[in-house]
């Protein structure tokens, strides 16, 4: 990811909504070496931050709504959460939660694009988001899996003003002013019908094979084994013991 700090329009944070935050904390501690710290305030609802040293890189949260899937949610920075939520709705997306204030940290909204891929937006106040990107153990890339690539391009470029580029036509890359941070993967006829549109975070690691093996030993499931992408990084896709999927890639090889 060419974005090195929270930037309007770009990914700034990632959260795991899980049925068992304690077990998830143990898994990701083993996989990424995160230090885990839960907010002790009752009103925080068990919100748990993950750190590399003293730097925040992600969060683990309880599932807040009945039927909510265990999944990672990518959050994009914005200067105005209310205006962006309104733009999403006007473009055919959905408002799922908010916009609402989170103490003095910022204002957020949980949204979905017209195909149902869920994401959130974050208007920072005292908390800007992740303090590290693309270093081992931190967010390095995000990927939208969708069944209608052209509609997705129209929606996200219209709402966020993203650029669409990349060297390969079959894998467009999202960017802010040309600084790429993610890609678009088509859910074509080779994918089962029950796989819905979604955003998938990729975390940078020093050793894809070693991290994938450690995740499997810790109870995770290997969905895509370590693979060298042509003219790209070495990657793998995993599922944690509670069912949330995420990717890993070798640090320093981001698009």
Answer whether residue 255 shows pLDDT above 60: no
Decide the pairing of beta strands 234-239 and 245-250: antiparallel
Answer whether residue 108 shows pLDDT above 70: yes
- Residue 201: both structure tokens together: 């975070």
Nearest C-alpha neighbor of 6 from the set 139, 174, 100, 202: 139
pLDDT bracket for residue 69 (50, 70, 90): confident
Measured from the Cβ of residue 142, the count of other Cβ atoms closer than 10 Å reads 23
pLDDT bracket for residue 164 (50, 70, 90): very high
Is the preceding peptide bond at 157 cis, omega within 30 degrees of 0? no
Q: What is the mean pLDDT of residues 201-229?
A: 97
Answer whether residue 44 shows pLDDT above 70: no
Q: How far apart are CA 120 and CA 199, in angstroms?
A: 11
Provide, rounded to the nearest whole percent, the portion of the chain with pLDDT above 90.
77
Confidence at residue 89, expressed as pLDDT on a 0 to 100 scale = 97
* The dihedral formed by the CA atoms of 229, 225, 174 and 92, expressed in degrees to the nearest 10: 140
Q: How far apart are CA 255 and CA 233, in angstroms?
A: 8
Confidence at residue 120, expressed as pLDDT on a 0 to 100 scale = 96
Nearest C-alpha neighbor of 206 from the set 244, 246, 234: 234
pLDDT bracket for residue 6 (50, 70, 90): confident
Q: How far apart are CA 160 and CA 121, in angstroms?
A: 11
Structural domains in the chain plus CATH codes: 11-124 (3.10.180.10), 139-250 (3.10.180.10)
Confidence at residue 194, expressed as pLDDT on a 0 to 100 scale = 74
pLDDT bracket for residue 65 (50, 70, 90): low
Q: 178 or 167: whose pLDDT is higher?
A: 178
Q: How far apart are CA 187 and CA 183, in angstroms?
A: 13
Q: What is the mean pLDDT of residues 74-83?
A: 98
Average pLDDT, the chain: 92
Confidence at residue 4, expressed as pLDDT on a 0 to 100 scale = 81
Quote the crossing angle between the two packed helices 21-32 and 208-217, to the nearest 10°: 150
């Amino acid at each position: 990811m060419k974005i090195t700090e929270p930037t309007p329009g770009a990914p700034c944070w990632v959260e795991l909504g899980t049925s068992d935050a304690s077990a998830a904390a143990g898994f990701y501690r083993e996989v990424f070496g995160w230090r885990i710290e839960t907010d002790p305030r009752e009103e925080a609802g068990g919100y748990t931050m993950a750190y590399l040293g003293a730097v925040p890189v992600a969060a683990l949260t309880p599932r807040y709504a009945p039927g909510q899937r265990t999944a990672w949610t990518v959050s994009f920075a914005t200067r105005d959460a209310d205006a962006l939520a309104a733009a999403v709705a006007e473009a055919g997306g959905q408002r799922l939660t908010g916009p609402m204030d989170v103490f003095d940290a910022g204002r957020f909204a949980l949204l979905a694009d017209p195909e149902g891929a869920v994401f959130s937006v974050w208007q920072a106040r005292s908390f800007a988001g992740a303090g590290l990107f693309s270093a081992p153990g931190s967010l390095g890339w995000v990927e939208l899996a969708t069944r209608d690539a052209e509609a997705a391009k129209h929606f996200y470029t219209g709402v966020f003003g993203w650029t669409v580029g990349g060297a390969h036509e079959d894998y467009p890359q999202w960017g802010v002013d040309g600084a790429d941070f993610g890609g678009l993967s088509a859910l074509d006829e080779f994918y089962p019908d029950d796989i819905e549109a979604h955003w998938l975070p990729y975390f940078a690691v020093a050793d894809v094979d070693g991290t994938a093996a450690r995740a499997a030993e810790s109870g995770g499931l290997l969905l895509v084994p370590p693979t060298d992408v042509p003219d790209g990084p070495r990657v793998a896709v995993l599922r944690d013991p509670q069912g949330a999927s995420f990717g890993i890639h070798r640090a320093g090889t981001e698009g």
